[in-house]
Structure formats: C-alpha cells, structure tokens
Structure 1
C-alpha cells in the first residue's frame, strides 16, 4: 500500500478522509496523492484548449491551487510525501483515470451519507467510484482522530470468488494486528441453516493462515441490518465488504433500509471488488 489517493473538494468530509489517509501513510511509509477535480461546464472546458483561455477558468484553477497548497501545509500532514494534482474532468472519471495512470493502491473518500450502509455511499460520486474502481475504496463519514482498527468485521457469503479479494483483506488486517470477525448474515432473502453456514466458513478459511479471528452467524431481517447490528454489538472499528463492481452495492444488500436499525455511527467502511 504505497500510494493512497484522496479525492478532495476541500470540504470537512474530505479532510476527514485525508486525516485517516495520513495515519495509514505513517504506518506504511507510503505517500498520499491528493486530487482535486474541477468540473467546469463543457463550453468553458472547450475554451481551455484555445489560444486564449477565458479569465474565469484561470481564476478557478488559481484558486484551487491556493487551497491545495493550504491543505498540504496542515499540521497532520507534516513530513508526509504529498503528490497533488488538479484535473478538469468529471469527478468519477477523473478519479478512476488518475488511479489507473498512477498505480494507486487504495482510494480513501469522505461521505456525508445518511443513515444505513447503502445510503452511506449509494447515489453519489463515492458510490460510482466504489462500483468502478479496480482498487479498494475506503469510505469515511466523520472525523477519526485515531485510526487504529483492532476489531474488524468481514461480512460475506464465503463463496469461492471471495478468496482472491480476501487475501487483500487479510494483508490489510495484519498491518494493524487486528482481530478479523468473519460473519455470515442469514436473512429471509438469504437464508442458510447453521450447519451449512458453518461448513461454508470452515471450508473457506482452511486455505488461509489465520491467527486472530472468529467465525459468526447472525440472523436479521436484511443483510444490511445484520452487518450493522453485528458490528455495533462487537464494537467494531471497521467494516469490510466485497462486491461485484458491475452491480454495485445495491445488489449486495437485500431488503429495505430502516433508519432506526441501520445506524452505522462513525464506523469506516472499506470495499474490495470481487
């Protein structure tokens, strides 16, 4: 994990993501790529390639450069290698193209999502990046002054296709010497008997060298509520999920969202693509 990308609109939620990235960077001796996207109307964008760029565009670019420099000088980024970039492109496309062009290992993004894991990232640029990114995406909602996850939830159906991204999850977990709490959520729309759920998890973990872990079965009316309630009950610091990029997270979750039960609090979420 040598290159961490933090897209920023210079908002407080983007700064929350940047603070977490800074903490991970110090632990891994990596670098942060700080990216700001200028989504300028198409007619202005066309003018950039002309002989005389219009003053409004130059003003936008200059202001972005000034705020970017101020961001890089924040105390929590002291002594961290920062690579900054300003791109004139649609946010999602720009983030993804920058990720591919610069061999980014992880994206960390802020979100002001509503309650519920799905609303946390669905219907925003963050959801689009999660769905299309080839690298893990971490979503941060609120400020985390000390990102030191020691209790991590991994919710899955533990199918064969999960094995490849699971190794990445293990690598991430080991970096923080955290306990990995693996859980199968049984809901009316995704029901498994206890014996079958245990068999799937036990067969799954045999191929991996697991040290500090637990296997769990949790019953709930929807998968989302099950993940959220289980994470709250064990006081998890982080939730890990795998998803098919082609369908997005809305396919992963079954059932509707209930605000009173799906209160995820401050927990960060990291998504690995299958």
Structure 2
C-alpha cells in the first residue's frame, strides 16, 4: 500500500498577519512537532507605483519580524523562513512558491468566507492542490485548539491510495479513529452493495492501524455535501478529499470549496489530496 514515507521537511503557509495566520501556524507546529521542519511563511503584495513599493516591503518585513517573535515565544525551536512575492493573484503566487520550495504540505487558515478585499479572495485550496500536487490543509478558527480524534474518508469508484497513506500517517500521529464513507450515485438502479474497492480500502487500513475502522454508506449525489453531512453526524475533526471531484460544491452562487460551507467555529479541517497518476487513470 505505502509507496512513500510521508515526512514534513517543509510546510508552506500563506499569511495575511490576521487570525488566519495564527490558526495555520498553530496547526503546522502541532502537526510536525519536530525541530527539523521548516515553516515557510509567504505573503503576497500587489504591484504598485515605484515610490510606494519600498514602503510596502518595509511594512511587510516589520510584520514578519513581529510574527517570528510571536511564534518563537511559544515554539522556540521553530525554524522559520519568510517569503515575499509580488503579484496580482495570491493563488498564482502560492502555486509558484510551492513549485520552487516543493513543500510537503500547504496550510491555509480561513477565518470567514472571502470578502471582496480579502487576502484569500480567489484562493481555492483544491485548485492549489491540483496545480502543485501538494496536499493542502484548510483550517478555521474552531479547529485551532481542537484535537484530531476522527478522520473521515469518502470512497467512490477507485482506490484512493494517497488518501489512505495520509490517513494512516494522521491516525497514528493523533491516535485518531478512521471512518470510511462509501458514496454511491443515487441514480444507480441496482441495490447498493459494498464495492470491491471499498473492501480493499478497509483491509489496507486494517493492516496499518490498531483501532477498528468505522464505515457507513450514502446514496447522495453531491460528494462534498454527503461528506459534510456524515462529518457532522459522526463529529469528525478532519476530512480527506480529492480536489474538485470531492471538495467542489457547485451552486447558484458559483463554484465553492467545501470549507466555505463550514461555520467559522467549525472544528472540521479539510485536507485536499491530489491522487497519484495511477489512481487518476482508474477514475
């Protein structure tokens, strides 16, 4: 099952020096717990007139200095590197920075749904996960102090090996329970039965985890909504989804990421994990 050992040598955190940054940094440090993990903090500034740019850079450097000091007060061993990029699109700069740094994980803190002038407006975690091939964890204020006790994994029509690898890593890290959710298209005329892929996923997890694997099934058509409904019912703390196909929520107001449906005080964290190429071929 396991193709690679998942280690955290580098974590990329886009920052806006607000509560979003505080949440993401807390999660990063809590997840790694190691001195050898580098936290790469990224801030994006938009191009402006030549006379204004030096002042912008100075202001950001000052914010970074204060942030470094705050982090080290609580986590003295934290290894911190700062990055300032200039561009009109925050999302594009995150993708470019990830391409250069090759982080093992990207963490995005979301306080409220992005407003018109929000730093994270136009930033879609699932798009970033697909473009960078790097898992993206989205967290909200409600999850800042919460522990990860239950991890939910939706299963559809192919074996999500990369999600299963991360589930094993996180379940061992947090000593968490894993819950599998089989999602069947409700237009299917046959009576529902556990597909072979679901049983294979179950047995692979059982080989690596000591806790019993819980499972359930649903016939709802929207994967994202079915996953959220189950997460709330079983009180899950984290859901592992494939970008777009499992984390995208179409609607009258346009396409949204599954995390946008979560309340500000929600403890549910969303981890977008792009499948391996072999998995995509099966899908």
Q: TM-score, normalised by structure 1?
A: 0.77
1:28-47 correspondence runs (5 A):
30-41=37-48, 44=49
1:173 pairs with 171, 174, 188, which one?
A: 171
Listed as ranges, the gaps of 5+ residues in structure 1 are: 45-53, 116-121
Give the match for residue 62 of structure 1.
58
Residues 25, 210 of structure 1: CA spacing in aligned structure 2 closer, same or farther, 3 A cutoff? closer
* Cα 1:237–1:249 shift into 2, 3 Å: closer
Could you list the runs of 5+ residues in structure 2 that have no partner in the other structure?
Answer: 1-7, 115-119, 254-260, 276-283
Question: What does residue 110 of structure 2 align with?
Answer: 111
For the pair 1:141 / 2:140, whether they are aligned, the reply is yes
TM alignment of 1:1-274, pairs within 5 A:
1-26=8-33, 30-41=37-48, 44=49, 54-74=50-70, 75-89=73-87, 90-114=89-113, 124-127=122-125, 128-160=127-159, 162-188=160-186, 193-195=191-193, 197-207=194-204, 209-211=207-209, 212=211, 213-220=213-220, 222-243=222-243, 249-250=247-248, 253=249, 265-274=266-275
What is residue 119 of structure 1 aligned with on the other side?
Answer: none
Output the CA distance in 1 between the equivalents of 2:52 and 2:58: 10
CA-based RMSD = 3.1
How many pairs are equivalent? 248
Q: What is the rounded CA distance, in whole Å, between the counterparts of 1:138 and 1:21 in structure 2?
A: 10
SS in 1 for 2:141: coil
1:48 counterpart residue number: none
| Residue-by-residue CA offset, 1:101-149 (whole Å, 9 max, x unaligned) | 222100000224549xxxxxx9721344234221100001225343531
Question: Is the 8 Å Cα contact of residues 142 and 266 (structure 1) preserved in structure 2?
Answer: yes
**Range that drifts further, 235-244 or 125-134:** 125-134
Shift in Å, 1:66: 0.0
